[in-house]
């Protein structure tokens, strides 16, 4: 998220913070942050177990990044 997008979102949030749609989006955002934290913990545990798991982890992270960019482009079309 760029600075301008973040600024636009905060304006939108503070204008419509009682809306169920905005609350759902904030819930999804918090859920996404929690998922990232859990994935980070799992990656740390796997790397602690063996450095040979680093290659599949990095490939998985690249794949998930690519899929998230595709999803964002699909969901938030301008």
Closest to 6 measured CA to CA, from 24, 29, 27: 29
Low-confidence residues of the chain: pLDDT under 50: none
Per-residue pLDDT at 1 = 63
Residue 73 CA from chain centroid, whole number:
14
Q: pLDDT averaged over the chain?
A: 80
Instruction: Give the Cα separation of 31 and 11 in Å (integer).
Output: 21
Residue boundaries of the structural domains of the chain: 3-75
Per-residue pLDDT at 28 = 82
What percent of the chain is predicted at pLDDT more than 90? 0
What is 9-46 written as a DSSP string? HHHHHHHSTTSHHHHHHHHHHHHHHHHHHHHHHHHHHH
pTM value surpassing 0.75: no
14: its two tokens? 């503070």
């Amino acid at each position: 998220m760029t600075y301008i997008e973040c600024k636009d979102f905060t304006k939108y949030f503070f204008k419509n913070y009682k809306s169920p749609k905005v609350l759902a989006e904030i819930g999804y955002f918090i859920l996404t942050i929690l998922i990232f934290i859990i994935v980070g913990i799992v990656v740390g545990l796997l790397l602690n177990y063996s450095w040979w798991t680093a290659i599949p982890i990095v490939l998985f992270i690249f794949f998930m990044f690519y899929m998230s960019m595709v999803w964002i482009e699909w969901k938030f079309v301008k």
